[in-house]
Structure formats: structure tokens, C-alpha cells
Amino acid sequence: MSKIKVIKTEKDYKEALELLEVLMIRDPDPDSDEGEQLAVLSTLIRDYESQSFPKTLPGPIDAIKFRMEQANLTPVDLIPYIGSRSRVSEILSGKRQLTMQMVRAIETGLGIPAKVLIRKPEIEENTDIDLEYQAWDNCLVSEMESRGYFDSSSLKKNIKAELLKNFFSRMGPQARIVGMLRKSNYRSSPLTDKRALTAWSTRVIQKAGGIKVSKKYKDGTVTPVFMQNIVKLSVEEDGVLLVQKYLKKYGILLIIEPHFSKTYLDGAAIFVNKDNPIIGLTIRYDRLDNFWFTLMHELAHISLHYNEDISLFYDEIEGVTIDIDDKEKEADALAEESLLPRAKWEVSPARLIPSSMAANSLAKELGVHVVIIAGQIRHKGNKYIYLNKIINKEKVRHYFSNEKWNK
């Protein structure tokens, strides 16, 4: 869909979602032409969904996020109703429930009925799991089917709830999935479809389960030195593949699985099986610098948060403007230090002159791929107009040709 138009068919709908993602990544000013296009497109998509898909009463968090999308609100805009940035983050991520004081404030300020706000999350209130699966978005399930999640089964010949039940049953009891979701840490856009994240992470766990690994992970293995040594694999022509084999030797599984529509996921650290932590990457951006930073960020979670009572860390790192919690800030800091140590950065000419010559010189000194240094120069100096030639030259997805990449 090259221009915005009324959505009449599923093909129009899918094209609209693709255009919506492009516009959201650009994060336009609401008063700009692109900002108006984003608002109009969001309305058209909602209208089509309301007419084409089953209507179910939303949970409180979904209702708040929907109203945020309608009114172009950010998490900061919720502070008057909820209390503080950290409290807003806890509410939107599902870590904390709404109080009656919050319910009254949100009902008055945002116009969301109290009967919606006081409902328990669907995944907790539905004792009949078929009802939960029936509430899943048809387009999400169709996307799962197109990616082979249901093997040879299809929506045409099977009930949606049965397809989903069979898919998730491969992980074990449903209670395991529910427990996994309750112990998750989200660094994600309020617009992200959490059910899509559930499907994605389950697929990653299933892929990991199909890999034979004899080594159990030993707590404390992932240190700053360990991470810096891994980054040095980037200079090898097939370093992206070598790092999978390297991590496996230490009991860590690196899995590639593309992200879903309506998610902006870059990666996740998954601790469902403590013997073999899993790192899932989506390669949402087909750039080598993004691959290495996201990998280091997830390794940082293993290094820093392995023993905490959290099953998954979902990370939308690029293209999403949100407040992040302390755990994510810690992971960011360790990732950056492993890619480009602060002591080297402070004395490097690249800090003052973001040139390809300076980037190559620093990369050679550190023994890492120049694209990593170029990415860090752009990030640390907030100079994203520089070094585009280096950044855009190196791609990643071609190493994983078996995956179905979104075009």
C-alpha cells in the first residue's frame, strides 16, 4: 500500500499494517503530514478490525493502550492518572494492578468505563482456555499459520482454539505458559501485541528444544571479558554463525525467529530452562551493528539477571521511544561497554571526529568489526546522519535463509 486508502480486503489490511509500522518507526510529529497519515491509518485499521474480527470486551491494560493509540498519548501522559513514571511502567507491563483511585481517575480523564478497568486480565480470568484462545486476533493466528507454526494444519480445516491449543501444548501444561508471562519484563511499545510476543517466545523455546546440547550453563560464565571475546568474532566472515556455536559450548542457545506484525521486538533473554538460557533475536533491522548490540544486550541480561525471578526479558531496542527500567539500563550499559569500552572511547579521535577513518582505526585497535564501532559512534554521539555507508553495507538475514523474512 503506497498510499492510504479505505481497507476493504485482507490484502489491504496487511499492506496497511506494513505502512503503519513504517510510520511508527519514523515517530513523526503529530501535527506533521506523516503524523496525520499515521492517525488516519490507525483509524482505518481499527475500523476494519472492528468489522472483521470478533468483538470481545478488552482487558484494562489493553483498553488503556487502545485509548493511548487513539489519542496519540505516551506513557508520560498517564502520570496524572497513575502517579509516576515507574508506576505507569509497572501498570502497562502488567506487573501492578490498577487501584480504585487510578480507576476513577482514568475513567474521568480518559473516558474508559470502570467496568472495563476493574476486569482481571483475560489470561487469568478465563478458566476455560478455549475462551482465551478464541479471543486471539484472527490476523495473528493467520500469520502463525503462514510461518508454519501449525505444521500442516490450517484455519480452513481446523478451529482456531484447537490450533492454538495444540501449538502451545508442545511446551507442556498451559500453567507453564501463564507463569512464564507473569514473570516477564517488557521493554516494549504500549502498542505491542502481547499475544504475538507469547506466540513468538513459545516458538523460540520450541526451536531451542529441538537442539541437542550437552553443556549446562554455569552461573557467572558471562562476564564483561567473556562478552568482549565474543564481540571479536565479528571480524570473521561468518562471525554471526560462529557466535551460535561458541555460545552453545557454554550452554547458551541463540535462536533466530522473525518478529510478528504489531510487535517491534529486537530480542529476548529467556530463562524458562535455567540449565540452558535462550537468546532469541528477530533481526528486525537487517543491520550487523544492530545484531551485535542486541546480542550483547541479551547476554547482559544473562550476566546480570540470571538469578532473578523473571522468565523473559522482551526488548524492543530500536525505533521505539519509551521509558525503560533500571534492569534495561544496566543491560544497555554492559552491552555498550562490551562493544566499545568507555576508557577507549574517551581517548579516541572518533569521539570528536565521526569519520570512517577514525572508525576503522578504533575497530582495528579493539579487534572488532568496523560496523560495531560505527554503530557506537552514532549512538554515543547521537550522530545518526554519519557513517551510513558503513552501517548499511553489512547485512545479516542472508545468513539465515531458512527463515521467512518480512519484506
For residue range 321-345, list pLDDT tens digits in order.
556 678 899 999 999 999 999 999 9
Strands (E), 101-245: 184-187
Contact between 44 and 20 under an 8 Å Cβ cutoff? The reply is no
User: Is the model's pLDDT at 355 over the cut of 50?
Assistant: yes
Residue 262: which of 205, 208, 320, 179 has the closest Cα?
320
Averaged pLDDT for residues 89-105: 82
Report the candidate in 229, 235, 264, 265 with the shortest Cα–Cα distance to residue 250.
229
Q: What is the mean pLDDT of residues 159-168?
A: 88
| pLDDT at site 45 | 78
Q: Among candidates 381, 389, 278, which has minimal Cα distance to 336?
A: 381
C-alpha cell at 98: 490498577
| Terminal CA-CA length for the chain | 13
Provide mean pLDDT across the span 219-247: 96
pLDDT of 124 = 44
Q: For residues 258 and 280, what is the distance between their CA atoms, to the nearest angstrom?
A: 9
pLDDT one-digit tens code per residue, 169-183: 877 655 455 555 556
**Which 8-state DSSP code applies to residue 119?**
S
Look at residues 117, 56, 46, 92 and name the one whose alpha carbon lies nearest to residue 262: 46
Nearest residue to 59 via CA among 2, 116, 3, 111: 116
More confident of the two residues 337 and 185: 337
Cα(289)–Cα(379) distance, integer angstroms: 11
Parse the chain into domains and list their residue ranges.
126-169, 201-400
Choice between 139 and 321, residue whose per-residue pLDDT is larger: 139
Q: pLDDT (tens digit, 9 = 90+) per residue, 238-276? A: 999 999 999 999 999 999 999 998 788 999 999 988 899
Treating both helix axes as pointing N-terminal to C-terminal, what angle do 239-248 and 224-231 enclose, rounded to 10 degrees?
A: 150
Q: What's the whole-model pTM score?
A: 0.69
pLDDT of residue 123: 43
Average pLDDT of every residue of the chain: 85
**Among 4-18, 267-281, 377-391, which stretch is predicted with the lowest mean pLDDT?**
4-18
Residue 93 CA to residue 290 CA, distance in Å, equals 25
Mean pLDDT of 135-154: 91
Is the confidence at residue 194, as pLDDT, over 70? yes
